[in-house]
Chain A
């Protein structure tokens, strides 16, 4: 008979993913909220090269543009201000078609490096030219850029790393491990339930025991969302699937039958749940239809995918995939709020960021899709009057190396992140890193930035806005106590 201690130790060794630690210490809170809030997590899967998403455009010789350009070489984005082409009508961004687009430059790769959008109130970072919608949101002060964030156990310096006295996050530079740490909310333990799963465990009556729960994934299973007692709703962006063709009475009887064998019993439970979910969700989905009055920046329907001619560059599946997910999120948030749900976390995945090679084409395509979808999403929220209720932010495995491997970048550590919404206090947070290879912020010599802010600080700021008190924050993100600031201040 394994004791709990043995159980924990064993799973620590084998890396079991869905293990809870001290949920028993924190009894379910009978907490209630009177307002609605939602967090939308966008996982940039593979490790986003945030240095080319938010380009350093300052004058400083360490943190600024010249240093960046010298190191980035062929992958550097030109310091070419494209803001003049960000035209607006009634405060809304309007983009033209084809080669009139601000980023247009013949091919995707060239558009990637064509230029950037500096921001008056943000000193030192500018948005990549292929992200006009995003740049516009920044200019509306709806975006916080948080500089040099990454998994950190405690503040860490280069000297400590070189002297081998630093306590480093586990399994640095490994995709799945780093992602796990981001989902776990701490950098020193791979075996823990995701922080969103833990929130759902603790707040599981906040939404009146609705079948929606708190966590909804638009891209399959994720460790982030599984608690000890709760599971996310996995939702297909195209719409809920329905059992058809087989008599319902058959299933009802079949799924009520006693199954003593444990494998079959579990499978039966999963099937039962899928029916229950289907019943509720299908009805809600079919009954509700938020109508969006806005169009996208091209004048087309929100969440539609412009054709290549309009776009001015090659379109691809990646754009549509994220759009579909965020479109479904918008509708689900609408449904949720109308049903009287109070707290929701939506999980969306944008894949393909592991740009070891072909970065100029691949990353360009991804950033273009990211910007377009986010722009549309914010417009949809605005139409529904929910802009201040929904905060969207990104996560990623890690940032990428400042150093260039020829046509791409490699796994690194610190990177820049963002939060978007009307509740966000727009601006730049954190300290810009010294980009010098082998410099003060380099973990070694390839330009792997040592983060200045930890993931826990970044996440705690958001979850605090979401409604967690200090006790809960410290429990969700235990390494917070190693840092002076537990609220980075970008949420109003």
Chain B
């Protein structure tokens, strides 16, 4: 509010000054008083000179006093109202700005003692494009009209061109050179406020502390990854790069779970899964290398071509030279197969089985053969096809294909199997013809392989999730993967194929036909029309192989194949009841091996054996297959072929160092390529009749074949096979096992009868262990051993334990370590000891007997049998 009386204004320094209005007012008052003075003077002169003089004096004095009073009043009243506002500049003064940059004025504030905050108006401009000094005036006026003004000086200076790049950033701590992770964190140091660029992308700004923390992404495939880090300043100058190189590695699943130290228990158990049984050599190798390296070495061993067939050839030539005159090289060079020259032989199946045993028992690439055996329980072929009884070379070729592709791709395995003579015969598409009319009737092609290819070898009956569980529809029902129509269509694909060199198209006979080379295609019998399988069209006009490739591609692409095959491989190689997570992990590898390839069996097998589920829980995981229990037994006792045998008493041809083992299914309940049906030896969902297993839904397929009879037969088999121990044979028949005539005369049937297996086992380690406890000279002769009664044994110690007792205990300990890794319960070992401790002492041995043979037959042999047939050995 304007106070007309306040004409004083205080400036910022609290000085006041009288405004001109005050002076004018004072002047006007003076003038007015002077006028009165003089007017009164005029009036007084006429009459009252004395009064006029007083009046004139009064007005004089009044004007003076009034002036003073008025001034004083005005001063008093107006002095406060008369101050201008106070302007405060914000920001610097003077302030410098670089040419070309934007000048941002910081502003000013004005405060008046009466009015409070006032608006400040600014006058003046700054042209930052032109170098120079600029003045900005800030003023504010209060309600009395008092104005204050302040000036700011703005200097525009020429920009200095910054051409200095920041120094190269450095790492605070060294970066790792390799990683398994998907990202690596690093900290770099460099110019404050500079921008951090990674491989041309800005990713951060250097903080005020001169550091920046960066995340380098290393996800993806294995290999060297390079990171270039530079710093840029505001002028755009860039430092030289800091180059970081990190090798990305893919960690094999579970390598963190692998044992650091391989104990006996681990060695024996692992080798019973990943091979046909631990030997001294393989156990030592595993202990030295550790699981990962052992596996990698096994996986890297190349496929030795056609060992089943070659060995069968060699043996066939030895056993029936008239029927099989060619050598391996002749056979391989000549397409006219040697097996085809003669009508199939009844020895064929025994020779195929012998070649198989020779391969799996002795070859170093154990894991490959072990995988092939597992695959043979999925893609089943067997001697149940009667033609193979005399043409078992078909099954040798079958095993060679499984072995070849065991570390290859499942698709290639399917392709080769589909083109094999053995499968064409086994699942009867040999001679399939496209549909044709006979009178009013249409004859359709055989559906056998079409169905089993889908049901058993690829996708199974019902849709599965990745973890092997059955998918359900909205109503809770399972979802079939294929229909009868699909079977019909696939049957049409497998037309026009038959075995080579048979007497007519489609003939299946042991008497003619080439069972070792792929089947041949006859176009006129092939259904050339378009087909649709699982909703996918297959074009018309395909050749036989093109059609087969098309259907196999469709099946390989199906999401079921990964869990369907992976789960079965886990059950054969690892454990019977894998968790869904385990199955999912392996299925994932089946779907993509890490390099974008589906069906890589090498990757799958590796993943199965490295998975944490196999290593974390050390409890029992499955029942041992009787066949594998048997091969482990043979390898543990250093099986070798019988040095010399012949095929008959009348034969003159020596067969040296060739293994001959006939089908052991009767004693084991199973043997490779001897399954009763295409559904394998046992069912993968066999739930044993046991409360614990049923409550927990634990399956145990291997138990399905271990009937009362089989258990007894197995027991007898082990005991009987142990009669082939080398020292025992030499003791019985004289020292040379090469002297055929002599052995024949002694009626050692194995050397002349094809109904007997021809191998020998060796218990030298067992003899040594026992002799060490009994003799001072350990030479395998047990020289000082005599038959005596226990009461006469002077080696008894304070507890009554004699040297002989110690020998048996040492034997039991040794066998336990060798066969189970040391898992026998001490109670079981005591039972064994107590059962046989008196066998060392006099009594039933009347005749003069070689002590070594006596010790073997009375003690070593039954104890081995008892352990092999025990619960501890038969679970893994």
Interface residues of A, Cβ cutoff 8 Å to B = 2, 7, 9-11, 13-19, 45, 70-71, 73-74, 171-177, 220-221, 226, 231, 233-236, 240-247, 249-250, 253-254, 257-259, 261-271, 273-274, 277-278, 316, 351-352, 354, 356-358, 362, 403-408, 410-411, 437, 445-446
Contact = CB atoms under 8 A, between A and B. Distances in A.
Interface string B638-668: 0000000000000000000000000000000
B685 A15 contact: yes
B701 to A, nearest CB: 11
The 7 A-B residue pairs whose C-beta atoms are closest, nearest first, are A241-B712, A234-B707, A274-B708, A264-B871, A250-B835, A356-B428, A263-B620
| Most chain B CB within a 10 A radius of its CB, from A243, A254, A411 | A254
B832 A250 contact: yes
Contact of A16 (B445, B687, B871): B687
12 contacts: A18-B687, A73-B438, A74-B438, A221-B704, A246-B719, A250-B831, A250-B835, A264-B620, A264-B872, A267-B874, A357-B508, A446-B444
B334 interface: no
B697 A408 contact: no
A348 B446 CA distance: 28
A233 B386 CA distance: 29
Given A73-B441, A171-B461, A264-B871, A274 B700 contact: no
B478 interface: yes
Given A174-B451, A264-B872, A358 B446 contact: no
B455 interface: yes
Contacts of B322: none
Given A11-B697, A271-B871, A241 B689 contact: no
A266 B862 contact: no
Interface stretch (B144-152, B276-284, B403-411, B429-437): B429-437
B27 interface: no
Given A403-B441, A410-B446, A410-B447, A270 B711 contact: yes
B180 interface: no
B705 A246 contact: no
B709 A406 contact: no
Nearest to B713: A241
B870 interface: yes
Contacts of A271: 711, 869, 871
Specify the main secondary structure of chain A where it touches its partner: loop
Contact of B719 (A73, A235, A245): A245
Given A16-B685, A17-B683, A408-B446, A267 B831 contact: no
Interface of B: 384, 386, 427-428, 430-433, 438-448, 451, 455, 461, 469-470, 472, 476, 478, 484, 487, 506, 508, 619-620, 622-623, 676-677, 679, 683, 685-690, 692-693, 697-700, 703-709, 711-713, 715-716, 719, 825, 827-828, 831-832, 834-836, 862, 865-866, 869-872, 874-875
Contacts of B470: 13-14
Contacts of B442: 403, 437, 445-446
A405 B689 contact: no
A403 B831 CA distance: 65
Contact of B693 (A235, A259, A262): A262
Contact of A220 (B447, B683, B705): B705
Contacts of A358: 428, 508
Given A234-B709, A266-B692, A357-B428, A14 B825 contact: no
A254 B866 contact: yes
Nearest to B619: A261
B693 A17 contact: no
A233 to B, nearest CB: 7
B439 A257 contact: no
A410 B832 contact: no
Contacts of A259: 825, 871
A247 B428 contact: no
B865 A246 contact: yes
Contacts of B620: 261-264
A173 B685 contact: no
A270 B703 contact: yes
Contact of A246 (B439, B469, B825, B862): B862
A404 B443 contact: yes
Nearest to A266: B690
B810 to A, nearest CB: 19
Nearest to A271: B711
A319 to B, nearest CB: 13
B710 to A, nearest CB: 8
B862 A403 contact: no
B685 A13 contact: no
A335 B868 CA distance: 34
A265 to B, nearest CB: 8
Given A18-B687, A410-B447, 5 more contacts: A73-B441, A257-B827, A257-B831, A266-B690, A274-B712
A70 B690 CA distance: 54
Contacts of B484: 172-173
Given A250-B831, A269-B690, A405-B443, A356 B715 contact: no
Contacts of A405: 432, 443-447
B686 A174 contact: no
A403 B444 contact: yes
Contacts of A173: 451, 484, 487
Contacts of B706: 270
Given A7-B697, A171-B461, A406-B506, A266 B703 contact: yes
B668 to A, nearest CB: 13
Contact of B707 (A10, A14, A220, A408): A220
Given A73-B438, A404-B443, A262 B692 contact: yes
B873 to A, nearest CB: 10
B297 to A, nearest CB: 31
A7 B700 CA distance: 17
Nearest to B669: A220
Given A259-B871, A406-B432, A277 B506 contact: no
Nearest to A13: B470
A262 to B, nearest CB: 5
A253 B712 contact: no
A171 B462 CA distance: 10
Contacts of B432: 405-406
Nearest to B698: A262
A220 B687 CA distance: 16
A411 B438 contact: no
Contact of B712 (A15, A242, A411): A242
Nearest to A262: B692
